[in-house]
Structure 1
């Protein structure tokens, strides 16, 4: 699980935070959500959607970086309540979360760097096409 910033708009100054959960067995994105900012609620909403999209089957462990959304009591209380162990990257070690870093690189460089999205709706459609 992780979040990344995506920019769009005429001057490329509009921002969305894309939150996603990736299945490490088949490398598919099983859930994603967007919001104006990265929050514990966004991370929790994405994880709830991941469980729902997986027919209610919960992972044993979820790995994330140490962003504030993932170290929050809201997110960790939710995971604990679902019986999910939370594993986090070591500070300053993005390689520990390389599956998600790879996803962000793929989306930003291969999907979004050549065509500029002018609106949030256009960006949402582009994200959906890239992930699905």
Structure 2
């Protein structure tokens, strides 16, 4: 495992093509966000190869990046720090890491994917 692997290298490590992700059945405006979160799930597995979060264990720490949202264009979108989450967390198990260092590394290496999945400039009618 390379610490700073690209998303393409991460997919290749599982004999997958990052460009082969197909999403259908949802509005066009959400497709890139769903592709981004799919890529982040694979990246999170890659960077946490020996970590299986146990959400029944209240003593086990789980980490995810905590980001500050800026404007809808993404200006000011940045990782302030990583937060520790407990079992009662609203953070899904697919994107948690075993340490704050790993969570921050994933964010730093794939900030564009977090932005694609989290920043939504919703059009109003």
Which range, TM-score by smaller chain?
under 0.3
TM-score by length of 1: 0.21
TM-score by length of 2: 0.22
The structure with higher relative contact order (CA 8 Å, sep 6+) is 2
